[in-house]
Amino acid sequence: DLFYRNIPKVELHAHLNGSVSFQTIEKLISRKPELNIEHSMTAIGKGQRRTLDECFEVFKVIHKLVDTEEAILLVATDVIREFAADGVKYLELRSTPREEKSTGLTKRTYLETVIRAIQQCKTQGVDIDVRFLVAIDRRNGTEVAMETVKLAEEFMLSSDGLVVGIDLSGDPTVGHGKELLPALERAKNCGLKSSLHLSEVRSQLEESDLLLNLPPDRIGHGTFLHPEMGGSQSLVDKVVKNNIPLELCLTSNVKGQTVPSYSEHHFQYWYQLGHPCVLCTDDKGVFCTDLSQEYQLAASTFGLSREDVWKLSQRAIDCIFAEEAVKQRLRKRWNELHGQVF
């Protein structure tokens, strides 16, 4: 349905290496045939399900293909262009800076390369505004988290406003938020916004409670925060009181089996509360989706009208990390496009 492609959209939860399309993976495989990687190892097709553990194995395979500055530049440029082609007008990409001894890649050159890709797309006139979040992989513990925040801080000051915040992600069954608290507090104090994966799996109640005290600026997933999912009313109250938007990724959660079916997705719970909810893709490459499809799925699953869908995309503007002037520009753009879409 072209309606979903045509409405202007905001994407706030997209992991760079999870967003690599089939076409780009093909290019990467042809550059490194010796790895014997097949496309079935880098994506989860229609109707397929994997455990979250298996999803994290998929990222490891992709990381083998994306281990040089050239590969990062290719991947970031392609991903940005693909989001733009899908009608995304504002994108916050996130990625974990990685070092690769064998190719000389450092965390710093990793970030510089992503920033270069964003600048190149802008110079080439790609119709999308892009910002970047530096991701902390939770499994790497206290010191790496702190080092990552320092790097993010440096880039925030040197990237012309392109680096706007941090993300906390990685395998939710590994590590504990309390080890990462000093780094997250530092990020907050230096003006970096934060989007944290919270309660993505069951049994993270104590951690979510602790991290909600920061409080974060946005929440990724939050699948198990509310009482019906084993969370608690006090967690919900904290989220509501601080008005912390949720980034919700339907296909990712269903394919990664943290949510049993589309109709049981927690979008319903938070949307009914009138709480800010932003539909996102998470990993459009790995989960074989795009943002238009996610909007369409939400509409068909939860009976949203076209006007509801429009409002959902428009309200996402309020949740972006870029400065107020960017929000104003986007709101104007939405108003201009409204007539063309309906």
Residues with active-site annotation:
200
CB of 302 to ligand 5GP, least distance (A): 21
Among the listed residues 82, 86, 137, 207, the single contact to ligand 5GP using CB under 6 A = 137
Distance linking the first and last C-alpha atoms of the chain: 13
CB of 95 to ligand 5GP, least distance (A): 3
Q: In whole angstroms, give the CA distance from residue 31 to residue 25.
A: 10
Our finding on whether 17 is near ligand 5GP (CB under 6 A) is yes
Binding mask 77-106 for ligand 5GP (x = CB under 6 A): ------------------xx----------
Cis omega (within 30 of 0) for bond into 215: yes
Among the listed residues 147, 220, 221, the one whose alpha carbon sits nearest the alpha carbon of residue 183: 147
Q: Binders of ligand 5GP among 153-182, rule CB under 6 A?
A: 169-170, 172
**Long-range contacts at 256-259 (CB < 8 A, ≥ 24 apart):** 256/49, 256/50, 256/51, 256/52, 256/55, 256/287, 257/49, 257/50, 257/51, 257/52, 258/52, 258/200, 258/201, 258/221, 258/223, 259/223
CB of 219 to ligand 5GP, least distance (A): 12
For ligand 5GP, the closer CB: 251 or 314: 251
Supply φ then ψ for residue 90, to 5 degrees.
Answer: -140, 130
Among the listed residues 8, 9, 11, 18, the single contact to ligand 5GP using CB under 6 A = 18
For ligand 5GP, the closer CB: 89 or 138: 138
Our finding on whether 11 is near ligand 5GP (CB under 6 A) is no
Helix (H, G, I), strand (E, B) or coil at 51: coil
Our finding on whether 209 is near ligand 5GP (CB under 6 A) is no
Contact indicator for 240, 276 with CB cutoff of 8 Å: no
Our finding on whether 135 is near ligand 5GP (CB under 6 A) is yes
Structure tokens at 160: 């012309």
Interaction site with ligand 5GP (CB under 6 A): 15-18, 59, 95-96, 135, 137, 169-170, 172, 197, 200, 252, 282-283
